[in-house]
């Protein structure tokens, strides 16, 4: 049931006076529930509870934490159609997408549960004492990864489930042993509250400490800023715009004790069309890209916003085909009037720049909040000189850049900001002659694709979802896949610590039967 209140640990609370509603972009009307923004006192209560809960939660076994995560997944599934209908009414996204995203969310929780059950993820290293070593005896050293403390999670508007309340950031932080406070996204506060209720239920059912999870409502940026500024908060997970992520990074850096901010932000995901591929399969790639640009109404961080090629008849034909194809696709609803407004404004800004030519645009009227997808084209020199053309237009839009030659193409790639993905479209063997382009692209992106589309982020151990700034604030980590857990831990060493007082992961007997590095050898053997 949606109450519109904040979850402060296991209790519901609504002491504030600021209220708001969510919006159904399809019907262009407000939804019925009223949400009450968290007050400063409620924020403090949630932070204090999380900090107390950390003392217990960090010591709870991996197997018990796994049961907690699996129970969250079960409780989310038990929300059944209420969750799906709420999701749809707050996002305008279709039922299939809602169910797919729920599946992804459940899958992420269960993946982390499996990781905890197995246990080796803590990277235990043991260098036993050598009392007889000459000239000096060696001390006993044992190291493992430990959680850093309460984490604040900010979800994005475009993934109400998989990158929100119980999304990848929350699942990985809870798995690591860190309590989580979610700053609920105002555009899907109802979906958020339902998922929060599932997490609170699961926490109580599995005996987790009160405060291991809280969900705070907010209609503006203040709640998030208070949370990030609080000294008891030890890390931040953010998915959203570059502006929002950067503001939180700066805020965290200004604290007396700066903390890590793992912000996954926007990207234009450059796609490089190599000449032979354009000549032989240009038409087919144009059709594929018309679909990719409009998938999910273009509201993906991996949307291909920039297509790069070398001037040729084949590139001209590609532009004609992608344009003809994209206007055949039925316009779709965007997530919210504000997102639609930003899309329309940003698209107009790009289209009005000098030397930019609009090659496709839906001119006919569409329903409120529906996107009129577009493609524009510009020459390489102008693109290089005008940095406003490098910015993300969040929605179904792509800019095709026609470069003079491969040197200009390389220069453009080298001058791009950091990106989540980069794609090379090539005929077999063609790529070998464009190694300089591949090298340049590799240095700007977190994931490089060969003959594909960047939309669609598989949840798998080998996935890297992140990239050089501003794709993310720390390119050494991923927000998707099991390694996402590494954002919330720090290495910690014990020296000459009595065996019975060590955590199970580091005890001589290896009671958890995990893989450990002992004397530089991987083993499950006891010492």
State both tokens at 460. 């798998």
DSSP 479: S
CB 475, min distance to ligand NAP, A = 12
Residue 403 CB, shortest distance to ligand NAP, in Å, is 25
Peptide bond into 159 cis (omega under 30): no
Nearer to ligand NAP, 129 or 221 (CB): 221
Q: How many CB atoms lie within 10 A of CB 369?
A: 24
101 is catalytic: no
Question: Least separation, in Å, of the C-beta of 259 and ligand NAP?
Answer: 15
Place of tokens 């968290």: 38
Tell me the β-bridge partners of 98.
Answer: none
Give every strand in the sheet of 151-154, ordered side by side: 11-13, 6-8, 213-216, 180-183, 151-154, 235-239, 261-264
- By C-beta, is 230 or 465 nearer to ligand NAP? 465
First and final C-alpha spacing in the chain: 52
Task: Report the residue number, 210 or 217, with the smaller CB distance to ligand NAP.
Answer: 217
Pairing of strands 261-264, 235-239: parallel
Name the residues that contact ligand NAP, by CB under 6 A.
154, 156-159, 163, 183, 185-186, 218, 220-221, 224-225, 239-241, 244, 247-248, 264-266, 301, 392, 394, 420, 465, 479
Give, for 291, the enclosing helix (H) or strand (E).
helix 275-294
Residue 180, CB-side half-sphere exposure with 13 Å CA sphere: 29
Nearer to ligand NAP, 225 or 312 (CB): 225
Q: Which of 75, 193, 226, 301 is catalytic?
A: 301
The distance of closest approach from Cβ of residue 297 to ligand NAP in the complex, given in angstroms and rounded to an integer, is 12
301: annotated active-site residue:
yes
The rounded distance, in Å, linking the Cα atoms of 197 and 195 is 5
Strands 151-154 and 180-183: parallel
Omega before residue 135 within 30° of 0, cis: yes
The SS3 call for residue 275 is helix
Cα separation, 400 vs 356, in Å, equals 10
Nearer to ligand NAP, 163 or 289 (CB): 163
Provide the minimum distance between the beta carbon of 290 and ligand NAP in the complex, in angstroms, as a whole number: 20
244 sits in the region (left: phi over 0; alpha: psi -120 to 50; else beta) called alpha
CB of 243 to ligand NAP, least distance (A): 6
Distance between CA 227 and CA 221 in Å, rounded? 10
Q: Which is nearer to ligand NAP, 226 or 325 (CB)?
A: 226
What are the C-alpha distances in Å from 467 to residues 261, 263, 475, 477? 14, 11, 5, 8
Nearest residue to 184 via CA among 126, 225, 224? 224
- In whole angstroms, the minimum distance from the beta carbon of 246 to ligand NAP comes to 8
One of 42, 264, 392, 505 is an active-site residue; which one? 264
Cite the active site residues. Answer: 264, 301
């Amino acid at each position: 049931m949606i109450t519109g209140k904040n979850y402060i640990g296991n209790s519901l609370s609504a002491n504030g006076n600021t209220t708001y509603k969510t919006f159904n972009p399809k019907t262009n009307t407000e939804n019925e529930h009223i949400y009450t923004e968290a007050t400063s006192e409620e924020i403090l209560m949630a932070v204090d509870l999380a900090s107390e809960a950390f003392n217990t939660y960090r010591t709870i076994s991996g197997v018990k934490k796994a049961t907690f995560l699996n129970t969250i997944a079960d409780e989310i599934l038990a929300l059944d159609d209420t969750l799906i209908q709420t999701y749809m009414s707050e996002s305008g996204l279709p039922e299939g997408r809602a169910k797919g995203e729920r599946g992804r969310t459940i899958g992420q929780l269960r993946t982390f549960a499996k990781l905890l059950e197995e246990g080796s993820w803590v990277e235990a290293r043991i260098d036993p004492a050598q009392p007889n070593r000459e000239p000096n005896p060696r001390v006993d050293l044992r190291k493992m990864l430990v959680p850093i403390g309460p984490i604040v999670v900010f979800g994005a508007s475009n993934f109400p489930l998989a990158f929100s309340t119980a999304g990848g950031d929350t699942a990985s932080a809870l798995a690591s042993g860190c309590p989580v406070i979610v700053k609920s996204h105002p555009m899907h506060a109802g979906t958020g509250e339902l998922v929060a209720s599932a997490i609170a239920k699961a926490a109580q059912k599995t005996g987790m400490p009160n405060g291991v999870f809280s969900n705070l409502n907010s209609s503006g940026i203040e709640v998030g800023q208070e949370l990030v500024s609080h000294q008891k908060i030890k890390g931040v997970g953010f998915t959203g715009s570059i502006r929002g992520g950067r503001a939180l990074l700066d805020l965290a850096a200004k604290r007396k004790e700066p903390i890590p901010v793992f912000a996954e932000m926007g990207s234009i995901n450059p796609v490089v069309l190599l000449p032979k591929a354009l000549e032989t399969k240009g038409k087919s790639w144009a059709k594929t890209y018309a679909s990719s640009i409009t998938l999910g109404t273009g509201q993906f961080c991996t949307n291909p916003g920039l297509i790069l090629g070398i001037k040729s008849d084949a590139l001209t034909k590609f532009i004609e085909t992608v344009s003809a194809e994209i206007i055949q696709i039925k316009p779709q609803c965007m997530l919210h009037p504000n997102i639609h407004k930003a899309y329309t404004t940003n698209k107009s800004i790009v289209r009005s720049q000098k030397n930019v030519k609009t090659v496709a645009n839906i001119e006919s009227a569409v329903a409120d909040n529906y996107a009129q997808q577009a493609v524009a084209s510009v020459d390489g020199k102008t693109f290089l000189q005008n940095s406003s053309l490098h910015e993300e237009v969040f929605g179904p839009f792509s800019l095709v850049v026609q470069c003079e030659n491969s040197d200009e193409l390389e220069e453009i790639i080298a001058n791009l900001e950091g990106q989540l993905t980069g794609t090379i479209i090539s005929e077999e063997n063609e790529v070998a002659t464009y190694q300089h382009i591949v090298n340049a692209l590799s240095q700007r992106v977190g994931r490089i694709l060969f003959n594909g589309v960047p939309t669609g982020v598989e949840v798998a151990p080998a996935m890297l979802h992140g990239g050089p700034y501003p794709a993310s604030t720390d390119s050494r980590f991923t927000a998707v896949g099991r390694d996402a857990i590494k954002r919330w831990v720090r290495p910690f060493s014990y020296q000459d610590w009595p065996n019975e007082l060590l955590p199970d992961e580091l005890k001589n007997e290896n009671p958890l039967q995990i893989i450990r590095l002992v004397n530089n050898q991987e083993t499950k053997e006891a010492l």
